[in-house]
Structure 1
Amino acid sequence: MQKFFILWVSILVFFFTGCSTKHYTVSEPKLITLKTPKIKFADTGYIRHDETSVEVELFTAGVAVEKISIDSLVCVSSGCMSEEAFVKEYLYPDYPADTMRNIVLGKDIFSGRGKEEMCDGRLFQFIRNDEMDIIYRRGKGEIYFKDRLNSLIIRINDLDTNQSLP
């Protein structure tokens, strides 16, 4: 009898939690380029997000090769860490903790510092000091982040947008 009870409890737990997956409100295919100290990638991927979570899933030749999930923690194939630790390890130590999340979502970085709006609706941010030389632009189906001093590039394009490289 006890084995029967354990079996049913296990089935119910699996049914209610084991099969549950995160359902995002937005899921978009993109062309993604990442050049960071720990990730070198240029191919297709998906950007998924809702109000609190962001997920970047990277594909090479149609096979998922990496997933970056940003929620209360940032999880990659090598494990989970805080957003601050992720930014320090994967981007640059002097960046704010929410930098990766904001870039992927096309939001202001560095609290909007150096922000300019162009007449065509695109937004630019220029951030320059002794530690970084950042150009960050978004709009017209593109998100482009480049830090020349730290050799970082993050580029996300809509799949139907065929733009040449800068």
Structure 2
Amino acid sequence: MQKFFILWVSILAFFFTGCSTKHYSVSEPKIITLKTPKIKFADTGYIRHDETSVEVELFTAGVAVEKISIDSLVCVSSGCMSEETFVQEYLNRDYPRDTMRSILLGKDIFGGRGKEEMCDGRLFQFIRNDEMDIIYRRGKGEIYFKDRLNSLIVKIEDLKENNATE
């Protein structure tokens, strides 16, 4: 009888959660490195996004170990919170609330402050003050964010380019 109950609960859970799964317009495999106060990770993952939301799924040895979903709230394995709270806890209290979303999508941070375009097409941002020393570059299949004062690193590389054989 207990096996029958577990089977029905599993089937119902599948149908209810299956219908609520978000479908993203872009899903790309990446090599992801995160070094923040709460996350230490370096392996493969997927970045999925559409116009309004972004999701990062992190894998170690082919097994999903963490998912960060950013929409109206930011959800991680430990629960959901506002984007502002997430940035304060996982990055730095002095960063704007959309910092992680912008990095994951390769967009300008801090309103484009300190932005420079290099001759090879890559974009750089340098942001320095008493609370942070940030270099942020993107282009050529890579996103690289480093804050030397706060020991933060977010590095995202295209998986295709790293495995290409010519």
- What is the TM-score when the length of structure 2 is the normalising length? 0.87
Describe how 1:107-118 pairs up with structure 2 within 5 A. Answer: 107-118=107-118
3-state DSSP class of the match of 2:102? helix
* Cα deviation, residue 19, structure 1: 1.9
Q: What is the identity percentage for the equivalent residue pairs of Structure 1 and Structure 2?
A: 87
Per-residue CA deviations over 1:35-72 (Å, capped at 9, x if unaligned) read 00000000000000000110000000000000000000
Q: Is 1:121 equivalent to 2:121 in the alignment? A: yes
Letter in 2 for 1:63: V
Structure 1 gap segments, 5+ residues each: 1-10
Equivalence for 1:141: 141
Which structure has the bigger radius of gyration?
1
Tell me, what secondary structure is at the counterpart of 1:89?
Answer: helix
Q: Which residue of 2 aligns with 1:74?
A: 74
Q: 1:5 matched to which residue of 2?
A: none
- Please identify runs of 4+ aligned residues in structure 1 that moved more than 3 A: none
1:161 is paired with a residue of what secondary structure?
helix
C-alpha distance in 2 between matches for 1:125 and 1:22: 32
SS of residue paired to 1:138? strand
In 2, the alpha carbon distance for the partners of 1:105 and 1:19 equals: 26
The equivalences for 1:1-166 within 5 A come to 17-20=16-19, 21-162=21-162
For residues 65-112 of structure 1, the C-alpha deviation after alignment (integer angstroms, 9 at most, x for no partner) is 000000000000000000000000000000000000000000000000
Distance 1:64 1:70 in 2: 17
Aligned length, in residue pairs:
151
Q: What is the deviation of 1:160?
A: 2.4
